[in-house]
Amino acid sequence: MTRLMRCEINRNKKLHGTWYFFVGIGLFIFLTAFLSDERTSGNFVASMYNTTYVIIAMMFAAYLTGHGYSQRTNMYEIMIGNRPMKIIVSKCISIGVIIALLISVLAATGFGISCVFSTKGFDYALPRLLLFMVIILRASITAVLMTMCFRSMASMAFVYFRLMAEVFFIMIYGAIKGNMNELLNTGLGVPKVLYYLFYSNQFEYILAESVDVQMILYVFGGLIISVLLWGSVVYYLYKKKDFK
């Protein structure tokens, strides 16, 4: 597994354009923090918790994973006889975990800057930041597993659609219940199971409530459910060698 991880990391290091993009994202976050009109308000810290980081993590992870399939290099891992679980775990760590750590560093830096200007400060942001990092980890690993299912750069589109599907579902659910505007603005009031599955609902719950056991269960439960679900699908495909 160590050899697979080392090879994956070395391949990704050569994608210089990708890392320029990552640096650009970092600069964008810093400029947003310094130039925001709300930097002295109590809402500034809260405004930093949004789906932007999750979208970046998922798209970045999907791109790195899909690039290996587009170049057919990932197929050699299968041809030389590596076990499916070894391949899955190695990619989740060498791409998913590393991307999550990099995005989390950007998020932590942005939140740190925001706390300096904000009236709410570190006591408000720190526990939410830790949970937010878990959400980023879930997004990154899930994107890797999704891409391993479809084995194509086109998986980036599916990953993005997965996030947009949350909005569509909430709109439909709100239209049926008659409170669509409230659901879109707060993300609260949906069935409890969606707090485990939807990123947007977890963001709103983190901002609206104090950090409690239920919130921690939602965030970590969502991570476990997503990894087990998509990991099982990938394992089945690799075990059956369904690569048509």
Per-residue pLDDT of the chain (244 residues; tens, 9 = 90+): 777 777 777 777 777 666 676 677 666 666 655 555 554 444 544 555 567 778 888 888 888 888 877 777 767 777 777 788 888 888 899 889 999 998 888 777 767 766 666 656 566 667 778 888 899 999 999 999 998 888 877 777 888 788 788 878 877 877 777 767 766 666 666 777 888 888 877 777 776 667 778 888 988 999 999 999 999 998 988 887 655 5
- Number of separate domains in the chain: 1
Closest C-alpha among 83, 129, 80, 77 to residue 107: 129
- pLDDT number for residue 1: 73
* Owning domain of residue 118: 2-240
**Helices 84-91 and 121-150, packing angle to 10 deg:** 140
